[in-house]
Amino acid sequence: MKKTAFYGALTVAGFAASMASAATLDDVKERGTLNCGVTTGLIGFASPDANGVWDGFDVGVCRAVAAAVLGDPNAVEFVPTTGKTRFTALASGEIDMLARNTTWTFSRDVDLKFEFVGINYYDGQGFIAPRDLGVSSAKELDGATVCIQTGTTTELNLADYFRANNISYEPVPIETNAEGQQQYLAGACDVYTTDASGLAATRAAFENPQDHIILPEIISKEPLGPLVRHGDNDWGDVVRWTLNALIAAEELGVTSANIEELAAAPTGNPEINRLLGTEGELGAMLGLEADWAKNAIAAGGNYGELFERNIGENTPIGLARGLNAQWTDGGLLYTPPFR
């Protein structure tokens, strides 16, 4: 009797365990919405507008995946996560994927059991300081009070940087970017440090952005990208190739303006045809419709369009493409071929 109860418990436990790692793709299709983890609000990357509609560069990735899987870029449930809560949210299955300025590191990939599907922004950590503080280099920050978001790579880089340069600082740990902005503007910390893209986005929200300078030192590599749980390779493939489709589309000249026309009938370029599903079976291989990539690109445009509209040089955030240009333009974006 005892033995059967034991085996019973074991089976139930085993069942529960196998449920946890069930195919995310099927779950998403069945649910009809994609649960996508984003920031609690970082203008340009992910923030809700006045009507509560989320928009931004990371949000664009979520919408593209929703469009690829469900055919509807609006079928996304955005889950705001802080630097601290994001990994628990993903590991527990509360979200299907995370697109939140998250740095691809060894320990996150290997030890925390996540799968980074690619890089959508090559970044590095910087400092922002009020202009009238009179500092021009991070090396002059000895004794400064630094606001830093907890649970991030930037927190560790900061400790390493000051240690390596043999200077001291006083950390003020904060939970969200909004809190950091408030503390920094109130002068509770002298400088604020995070990913340089995040600094640019934060500064754009200031009343007087020109009163603050971003110091020249970039103290780390922060390759930011979307990630999924380790062990569900089919779902990882879907997110990875959706991101690649956005990048390939820019390289191949497929934009939201010409996509309908290009997808209507096979074109002269077979890679475009395979991408847009007018030739080959790529969609079916992923377990998706043939027009998956077309939907993903139509959702918000290709990578370049997403970049320009949300964080590019003509937006208040004003980031140049830099490392994030296509490899053909001297950048690092280089997607594997669609074949």
Residues that bind ligand GSH (CB under 6 A): 39-42, 82-83, 101-103, 149, 152-154, 176-177, 194-195, 198, 222, 224
To ligand GSH, the closest distance from the beta carbon of 249 in angstroms equals 26
For residues 119 and 117, what is the distance between their CA atoms, to the nearest angstrom? Answer: 7
To ligand GSH, the closest distance from the beta carbon of 120 in angstroms equals 12
To ligand GSH, the closest distance from the beta carbon of 108 in angstroms equals 8
Q: Among residue numbers 238 through 257, which ones bind other proteins (CB under 8 A)?
A: none
Distance in angstroms between the alpha carbons of the first and the last residue of the chain: 57
- Number of residues that make up the chain: 339
DSSP string covering 104-137: --HHHHHTS-EEE---SEEE-EEEEEEGGG---S
Q: Does 175 bind other proteins (CB under 8 A)?
A: yes
Selected binder of other proteins within 26, 94, 216, 231 (CB under 8 A): 231
> Please, what's the b/e burial string for 269-304 (b: 16 or more CB within 10 A of its CB; e: otherwise)?
eebbbbbbbbebebbeebbbbbbbbbbbbbbbbbbb
200 or 259: whose CB is closer to ligand GSH? Answer: 200
To other proteins, the closest distance from the beta carbon of 222 in angstroms equals 15
102 or 326: whose CB is closer to ligand GSH? Answer: 102
Beta-strand ranges (E) seen in the chain are: 34-38, 47-48, 54-55, 76-80, 97-98, 114-116, 121-123, 125-130, 144-149, 169-174, 191-195, 212-214, 222-224, 227-229
To other proteins, the closest distance from the beta carbon of 173 in angstroms equals 4
Alpha-carbon dihedral 202, 204, 206, 211, rounded to 10 degrees: 110
Token look-up 């009809």 returns 32
For residues 235 and 298, what is the distance between their CA atoms, to the nearest angstrom? Answer: 21
Task: Name the binder of 142 from ligand GSH, other proteins, none, CB < 5-8 A by kind.
Answer: other proteins
Contact between residue 225 and residue 104 where contact means Cβ atoms under 8 Å apart: yes
Q: Which stretch binds other proteins (CB under 8 A): 52-60, 81-89, 245-253, 266-274?
A: 81-89
Q: Does 150 bind other proteins (CB under 8 A)?
A: yes
Q: Does 265 bind other proteins (CB under 8 A)?
A: no
Q: Counting Cβ atoms within 10 Å, is residue 140 exposed (0-12), middle (13-18) or buried (19+)?
A: middle
Task: Name the binder of 13 from ligand GSH, other proteins, none, CB < 5-8 A by kind.
Answer: other proteins
Task: Name the binder of 163 from other proteins, ligand GSH, none, CB < 5-8 A by kind.
Answer: other proteins
Task: Provide the angle, in degrees to the nearest 10, between the axes of the packed helices 292-300 and 57-70.
Answer: 150
Residues 6+ apart with CB under 8 A from 251: 326, 328, 333, 335
Q: Does 269 bind other proteins (CB under 8 A)?
A: no
For residues 245 and 292, what is the distance between their CA atoms, to the nearest angstrom? Answer: 10
Site string for other proteins, 26-65 (x = CB under 8 A): ----------------------------------------
35 or 82: whose CB is closer to ligand GSH? Answer: 82
Task: Name the binder of 120 from ligand GSH, other proteins, none, CB < 5-8 A by kind.
Answer: none
Task: Name the binder of 88 from other proteins, ligand GSH, none, CB < 5-8 A by kind.
Answer: other proteins
Token look-up 């749980």 returns 229
Q: How far is CA 248 from the centre of its chain?
A: 18
179 or 291: whose CB is closer to other proteins? Answer: 179
Q: Where does this chain bind other proteins (CB under 8 A)?
A: 5-6, 9-10, 12-14, 16-18, 20-21, 83-84, 87-88, 91, 107-108, 111-113, 133, 141-145, 150-151, 155-156, 158-160, 162-163, 169-175, 182-183, 186-190, 229-231
